Amino acid sequence: MKGGKSWITWIGDEPQPSLRENPDFLKAPTYTWSNGTNSTDEWKENISTAVKKIQDEKIEKVVLARDLNAVASARIDPRLILRNLAEQYPSTWCFSVDGLIGATPELLLRLTRGMVTSRVLAGTISKTGDDEKDLARSASLARSSKDLEEHVYAVRSVVESLSHFCSSTNVPDSPFVLHLANVMHLATDVTGAISESAHHVDTFAILAKLHPSAAVCGTPTQSANEIISELEGISRGRYAGPVGWIDARGDGELGIALRCGEISGKSIRLFAGCGIVAGSDPEKELAESQVKFAPMIHALSES
């Protein structure tokens, strides 16, 4: 949906499926849950190792992901999940692409008529559901040195990438707190004007420089990627990759595939990742990852 209008793009030689063909899709199956590649203890150990490497090797940030598996009592229909995500998380970008489904709060890039925007999220705190307590937690997040440090790295990586194409960029002095249904994030909207002297700057060209940013990999990128390869132990698949649309002019809108799962028949694999810096605590990072799993878990279970 954009500007109050909705549309469907259907690619293939089969007719678009109708909701009336399968009224049972509104009934959520039951799920049997199991650990992903790593147990919670193993993942916390990975966090501890990453913190030590950050301190020893003088890198700034690395993002470590974990997965969670579920098997359903019936074939999983993405339509029910997508409906639930759209209702419960209206301020996110909901997507369903060839089995990858989710509701991402993070805009990787939007390119429209020579203007580019990227929403950077880094720094997270859970919500309690109590407005007064959440207001205090929001203020705590905005003052958190650990979360502000993580956020600065992510913003800096985006600005450096956009500088290759933009004659000017606008970066707010401080982040705002983005309120979602279950969490709050430190957020910064970075905008830029594509230079008139730049040739053939389309969404693909910007994407090649922008992804992966520090929000999903770390910084410096190569060092962080090496630590991810050594410690993470999972195949991310399309998790944390770009998802969205690009038109014939090269303009487009791409989110980062977060708060998502990958469906295969009766099975689904969920993903969550946390930004690790020198001050990270394994127990708190585990709790943050559980909160990031919550949108998909709730969307799967509710009819």
The residues that are catalytic are 61, 106
Distance of CA 181 to the CA centre of its chain: 15
Helix (H) or strand (E) holding 122: strand 115-126
Q: How far apart are CA 100 and CA 240, in angstroms?
A: 11
Q: How far apart are CA 63 and CA 141, in angstroms?
A: 19
* Residue labelled with tokens 């999220």: 121
Helix (H) or strand (E) holding 57: helix 40-57
**Count of CB atoms situated within 10 Å of the CB of 176:** 13
Structure-block tokens of residue 163: 């500088």
Kindly report the length of the chain.
303
Contact 150, 61 (CB under 8 A): yes
220-228 contacts, C-beta under 8 A, 24 or more apart: 220/59, 220/60, 221/157, 223/57, 223/59, 223/62, 224/59, 224/61, 224/62, 224/63, 227/50, 227/53, 227/59, 227/62, 228/62, 228/63, 228/64
Q: Report whether the peptide linkage leading into residue 105 is cis, meaning its omega lies within 30 degrees of zero.
A: no
Q: How far is CA 146 from CA 65, 122, 149, 187, 226, in A?
A: 19, 10, 5, 15, 23
Q: How far apart are CA 300 and CA 303, in angstroms?
A: 8
DSSP 164: T
